[in-house]
Amino acid sequence: MPVSRHLFNGTGKWSWGWHWGGGPGPGGPMGGRGGLWGPGGFNPWGAGGLGPAGGPPGISAEVAPRSIEQRQQRQQEDRRWGWSYLTDIGGIAYIIELEIGTPPQLIKVFIDTGSYELWVNPRCNTSASLEICRQHGNYYPNRSNSSSYVGGDFAVTYGTGAVKGSYWSDVMSVSMFRIPSVQFAVANDSNYTFSGILGLGYAYPYSINYPSILNLMVSQNMISAPIFSVGLGGDGDNFSEIIFGGVNRWKFAGPLEPIPIWPPISQQDPAWIQYWINVTSVGVTKPYDPNGEIYTDPATFTMPCLIDTGSTLSYIRADLVEVIGQKFNATIDNAGNYLVDCTWRDKPGTVDFGFNRGRMVINVRYKDFIFQQYPGHCMLGVQPADAGSTNYVLGDTFIRGAYLVFDQQSDVIWMNQYYNCGDQIVSVGQTARDTQYIVGAC
């Protein structure tokens, strides 16, 4: 969760990963706990460097893997459904494009289900990657005929890094919707972060006192309810997407399983309502073994986890990480990170997460679960949460295996195994829990 006002153990939420955690170390601030620093400093793609225009190897930062013609056609077809392509930044994070102001200014930000506000304009010369930061654009209020200064202080502190600024309002295009009078923060100072963030968590009237983008889409009848779906797809598949107010039924098979928010929002901190859900089993299916192993008691095991697109890795109980690590012959570095041989990514096994006492099991392929920090250096997709902490997270190393529908209308995460067999988007939210009637076509 890149953006959070909450601190854990006094040092930030987690000590590794895209939570901007970790202490000083070789190559920069993320050197400790094995952050995203490859040889020679920040370089998530390793010694091979960045691809064209500073993106992942072979991927232009300006042109998505679909051809321009395909994207334009797809955007026209799906304009009314709130569909948007997401750019995969090497498995680290996922980017959505926004157009802000009159005339429009193109800005790229991370999607983050672990936070609840939108902010833009990271300070590039103090960011982890000057090259990538500059490609994500800046918003200039004085260049927009529709900007309005709101005022008020915005401040966010991470495990490593921080952002501060003030609030503005302007017209904004998001996923083909043009929304007037969107309030967001414009940073005037930051460090480490090289992109702004679109928080998609529970916002107004819980965490903030103004309507979020999702709230505005509903109030202006662009979508029926505060619901959006996410399909990150497999690592390197280049089919990542988000749909506001709709579901792509060609990205899963059969009905979606409703996983209730747990603890219920009535029992959560009212200033920080989150997408917590309960994991009821964890296991591994070895290559060519039809029978998976379960390492938890399916009748009694519970592990509430935050579903967080803003977290590169997942963080769970240390005893489970140890057991899973043994199955991959993992080694532990001096910072406590579980490292594995990258050849595991090419094997046909899965890491398995169960929900609702086995009614839904998400089988995450080794390729999607094992995070390749840079060529030849791979990390186990789950790492231990901070000692003594029960703030567990299912990040992108889990989400790549699932199709997820975040339903704030009914306080449910609808879930099924991710497949990619085409595109057919249908709207949801006309009535409570109507997502249950959507049947996947794969």
Q: Is 271 left (phi over 0), alpha (psi -120 to 50) or beta?
A: alpha
Residue matched to tokens 């930044």 = 89
In the numeric block, which tokens belong to residue 405?
Answer: 């529908």
Exposure pattern of 7-26 as b/e (b: 16+ CB <10 Å)?
ebeeebbbbbbbbbbbbebe
- Residue among 98, 87, 128, 94 at smallest CA distance from 110: 94
Q: How many CB atoms lie within 10 A of CB 62?
A: 14
Strands 118-120 and 177-191: parallel
Q: List CB contacts of 171: < 8 A, sequence separation 6 or more.
A: 100, 101, 102, 146, 178, 179, 180, 181, 182
As a whole number of angstroms, the distance between CA 146 and CA 207 comes to 26
Q: Could you list the active site residues?
A: 112, 308
Judged by DSSP in three states, 110 sits in strand
- Residue among 414, 425, 407 at smallest CA distance from 226: 407
Residue matched to tokens 């920080």 = 272
Contact 232, 367 (CB under 8 A): no
- Residue among 110, 128, 127 at smallest CA distance from 119: 110
Contact 111, 117 (CB under 8 A): no
Contact 272, 52 (CB under 8 A): no
In the numeric block, which tokens belong to residue 221?
Answer: 């009848």
